[in-house]
Amino acid sequence: MKPIVILMTNTLRLDDNPALSAACAEGVPVIPVYILDEETVGTRPYGAARRWWLLKSLKELSKQLTSLGSALIIRKGITLRVVQALLEETGASIVHLTRSYEHWARESEADIDDLCISQGGSCRRFTGNLLIEPEHIQTKTGKPYEVFTPFWRTAKGLITGTPVNPPVNIIAPDKWPVSLDISDLSFEPCPASWAMPLARIWQPGEIAAHERLDMFLGGIVDHYKIGRDVPAKEATSRLSPYLTNGEISARRVYFEAKNVLDKRPAAVENITSFIREIGWREFNNHLLYHFPHMPAQPLKPKFERFPWQQGQGLLLKAWQEGKTGFPIIDAGMRQLWQTGWMHNRVRMIVASFLVKDMLWHWREGEAWFWDTLVDADVANNAAGWQWVAGCGADAAPYFRIFNPILQSEKFDKEGQYIREFLPELSALPNAYIHKPFDAPQAVLKTAGIELGKTYPFPILNRQKARMRALGALEATKL
């Protein structure tokens, strides 16, 4: 029997994996494959944090497949060439894969389809990572949605089907093709000590993803609607890296949340608020599909003329290292560096500070997030930065500039989040924890703080920065 090759590159899971389930249902040998492709034109190499996550996740997936009598074949190179070699080595002519939405991946999938057809087979492309495929939803005029609310209003009515259970048996081929070792992918962090804090916080893999979902829906979700804006609270799902790395499907998350809602109608506001965030992920991928230039170019072309600063610089480095002199900004950037993740409210605050107070290009921030986030995702990252910068779809107006002090006082009232990630400020009273530069010298001395030495002075004057940003907006005549 000819085997089926299944590409698992973007679906590192067994549960709700229609491509895998369909292959197993054929009753023929199945060869699961992971391909690290950093050579196909248009690809973007993973950042350091995501590489660390993938190293752990692939090991977990390999264990799961081994427990079912199967194995995970590891390859590197241009996807089309790797697939061609696998078909020749195994005698297979059918490939199963789960659709991706980056333009280069879509082109690669089409090329694989042509290759399989030329050999008398086929490439079967399955849905699996979104609730709704981008081409299945459009406005009444036949155009893609560019505003979230009407998009989600329509999308909710199009969600059908239920998650597919994991296979209980995977038929192995008589002979396995040659595989690289996971260590050959060079995902090991260098230096290794950099990732030690990540390992204490995160457990990658499908099993951990489901445990996290169960924990969230088991009680944390009851405080989601309001708590999700408070960075010191454990009120969010923290499922984003698992979704990004394909260890759990959006469909599984969505239907499990709906099941909880059926059992606990009193939780409707919190669960509805959570499901809406799944909708934002759908919307961002919808934008990426229809506007493939989104990761590099503004969706609003007039922003091409905006005078953002670009390239490296001391101010950009201060932002990256959490040394701006504004506690909520610095706490967020240090959380990112120490944990590979940042609370979503704080992501908006630090992004606004970079592109509006500092007048730095959103692409510089997007690139830093790409390298340091364990949930770095092409669609979410680009759409999020463009939203804050005012140049994306359904974006916040550019003139809406977050005040980091007011945001900090509102969402971290007692300074718990700041104290966790800026221990050098922990002795400051609440009145000054958000703005140590306003504290009397006696208060600073009592708290053991010397501005400019133990904690930096602010790198800019916010009032002047605001006026400069608004002046740039006016000068560009957007």
Distance CA 352, CA 332 (A): 13
Mean pLDDT for all residues in the chain: 95
Q: Environment class of residue 143 by beta-carbon count within 10 Å: exposed (0-12), middle (13-18) or buried (19+)?
A: exposed
Task: Note whether 144 and 138 are within 8 A (CB).
Answer: yes
Rounded Cα gap, residues 475 and 462, in angstroms: 20
52 and 96 together in one domain: yes
460 plus 372 within the same structural domain: yes
The domain boundary, picked from 290, 315, 340, lies at 290
Q: Tell me the mean pLDDT in the region 190-213.
A: 91
Domain span holding position 278: 130-161+204-290
Please confirm, yes or no, whether 308 is among the known catalytic residues.
yes
Same structural domain, 144 and 93: no
Residue corresponding to tokens 């799961």 = 64
Residue 112 is part of a domain; what is its CATH number? 3.40.50.620
Candidate from 93-107, 162-176, 189-203, 341-355 with smallest mean pLDDT: 189-203
Asked if residue 349 is part of any domain, the answer here is yes
pLDDT recorded at residue 433: 98
Per the annotation, the verdict on 387 as an active-site residue is: no
> Which is it for strands 30-36 and 94-98: parallel, antiparallel or unpaired?
unpaired
How far apart CA 454 and CA 452 sit, in angstroms, is 6
Taking a C-beta distance cutoff of 8 angstroms, is the pair 331, 322 a contact? Answer: yes
For residues 416 and 230, give the distance between their C-alpha atoms in angstroms, rounded to a whole number.
10
Predicted pLDDT at 397? 82
| 122 bridge partner residues | 94
Instruction: Give the domain-ending residue among 264, 290, 316.
Output: 290
- Does residue 478 have a pLDDT over 70? no
- CATH classification at residue 348: 1.10.579.10
Average pLDDT over residues 212-220: 97
Cα separation, 56 vs 15, in Å, equals 18
Task: List, for residues 441-458, the tens digit of each pLDDT value.
Answer: 999 999 999 999 999 999
Side-chain-side CA neighbours of residue 220 (13 Å) = 16
Same domain, yes or no, for 264 and 355? no
Tokens at residue 230, please? 């408070």
The residue assigned the tokens 């499901």 is 275
Q: Indicate if 284 belongs to the active site.
A: no
Provide the percentage of residues in the chain whose pLDDT is more than 70: 100
Distances in Å between the alpha carbon of 475 and those of 297, 307, 398, 468? Answer: 21, 9, 13, 10
For residue 188, is it within any domain? no
The pLDDT assigned to 59 comes to 98
Please tell me the predicted confidence (pLDDT) of residue 190. 76
Active-site residue, selected from the candidate residues 89, 256, 277, 424: 277
- Residue of 348, 312, 359 whose CA lies nearest to 475: 359
Domain stop point among 223, 258, 290:
290
Query: Which residue out of 152, 341, 385, 387 is catalytically annotated?
Result: 385
Do 47 and 110 have their domain in common? yes
Write out pLDDT tens, residues 142-186: 999 999 999 999 999 999 989 999 999 999 999 999 999 999 999
Catalytic residue among 308, 403, 420, 424: 308
Residue 177 falls inside a structural domain: no
Q: How far apart are CA 201 and CA 420, in angstroms?
A: 15
Q: Give me the CATH number covering residue 256.
A: 1.25.40.80
For the stretch 249-305, pLDDT in tens is 999 999 999 999 999 999 999 999 999 999 999 999 999 999 999 999 999 998 998
Q: Are residues 11 and 97 in the same domain?
A: yes
Which residues, in sequence order, are bridge partners of residue 5? Answer: 31, 95
Q: Widest CA span of the chain, in angstroms?
A: 81
96 class by beta-carbon count within 10 Å (0-12 exposed, 13-18 middle, 19+ buried): buried
Cα separation, 175 vs 90, in Å, equals 8
- Determine the distance from the C-alpha atom of residue 393 to the mean position of all C-alpha atoms in its chain, rounded to a whole number: 18
The per-residue pLDDT for 195 is: 84
Residue 283 sits in the same domain as residue 332: no
Kindly indicate the confidence band of residue 311, based on its pLDDT and cuts at 50, 70 and 90: confident
Is 280 one of the annotated active-site residues of the chain? yes
Tell me, yes or no, if 344 is annotated catalytic: yes
Any domain includes 339: yes
Same domain, 275 and 372: no
Q: Is 416 exposed, middle or buried (0-12, 13-18, 19+ CB in 10 A)?
A: middle
If one counts the domains in the chain, the total is 3
Whether 241 and 373 share a structural domain? no
Q: Could you tell me which of 320, 329, 371, 331 has the C-alpha nearest to residue 350?
A: 329
- pTM above threshold 0.85: yes
Same domain, 306 and 350: yes
Q: 259 and 313, same structural domain?
A: no
CA 304 to chain centre: 25
In this structure, is residue 169 part of a structural domain?
Answer: no
The pLDDT value recorded for residue 400 is: 86
Contact indicator for 295, 362 with CB cutoff of 8 Å? no
Its sign, for the CA torsion 147, 150, 153, 155, is: negative
Whether residue 286 is contained in a domain is answered as: yes
pLDDT in tens, 358-393: 999 999 999 999 999 999 999 999 999 999 999 998
Report if residue 193 sits inside a domain.
no
Token duo for residue 144: 């893609």
In terms of pLDDT, which residue wins out, 474 or 121?
121
Give yes or no: residues 339 and 404 share one domain: yes
By the 8 A CB rule, do 230 and 408 touch?
no
Residue 362 annotated in active site:
yes
Residue 185: name the closest of 343, 340, 46, 333 by CA: 46
How far is Cα 262 from Cα 266, in angstroms, rounded to an integer? 9
pLDDT surpassing 90 at residue 474 = no
Question: Does residue 198 belong to any structural domain of this protein?
Answer: no
pLDDT band at 473 (very low <50, low <70, confident <90, very high): confident
The single residue of 26, 344, 409, 420 carrying the catalytic annotation is 344
Q: CA–CA separation, 158 vs 286, rounded Å? A: 14
Confidence (pLDDT) at 399: 82
For residue 235, give Cα distances in angstroms to 157, 215, 221, 227, 230: 28, 11, 7, 5, 8
Q: Residue 121: what residue type?
A: G
